[in-house]
């Protein structure tokens, strides 16, 4: 029972000290977060390791209607029923159709 009372008094003491120094604790926490963000931003970006896809002989190819380039269907960009080799061809095709 006396250990419970000692523990309770210790917790009350910690609470009073934390309340008294709360502004300093908040400032310290803010500085910690700021330095952590700065260190994270200064770290060089990690390059993702991309494994090359194994191309099998039965890959379906589609032709880009804009530049007539053949592209694997998995890598092509689809718009409705058309497949484009890149976003650039897709955007050029859409802007060309808007003008016409």
For strands 82-84 and 61-63, give the pairing.
unpaired
pLDDT digits (tens, 9 = 90+) for 32-66: 999 999 998 888 877 766 666 665 667 889 999 98
pLDDT at residue number 55: 58
Average pLDDT of the chain? 86
Please check the confidence at residue 97 and state whether its pLDDT lies above 70.
no
Residue indicated by tokens 């330095």: 35
Residues in the chain: 100
User: Tokens for 27?
Assistant: 């400032």
Supply the DSSP symbol for 14.
Answer: H
48: left (phi over 0), alpha (psi -120 to 50) or beta: beta
Please check the confidence at residue 19 and state whether its pLDDT lies above 60.
yes
Residue indicated by tokens 């890598």: 75
Please check the confidence at residue 93 and state whether its pLDDT lies above 90.
no
User: Which residue ranges make up each domain of the chain?
Assistant: 2-42, 61-99
pLDDT at residue number 54: 61
For strands 70-72 and 77-79, give the pairing.
unpaired
pLDDT at residue number 28: 94
Burial class (CB in 10 A: 0-12, 13-18, 19+), 90: buried
């Amino acid at each position: 029972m006396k250990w419970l009372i000692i523990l309770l008094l210790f917790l009350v003491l910690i609470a009073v000290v934390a309340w008294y120094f709360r502004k300093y604790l908040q400032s310290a926490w803010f500085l910690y977060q700021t330095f952590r963000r700065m260190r994270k931003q200064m770290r060089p970006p990690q390059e993702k390791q991309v494994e090359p896809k194994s191309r099998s002989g039965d890959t379906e190819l589609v032709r880009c209607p804009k530049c007539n380039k053949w592209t694997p269907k998995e890598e092509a960009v689809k718009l409705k029923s058309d497949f484009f080799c890149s976003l650039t061809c897709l955007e050029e095709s859409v802007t060309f159709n808007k003008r016409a």
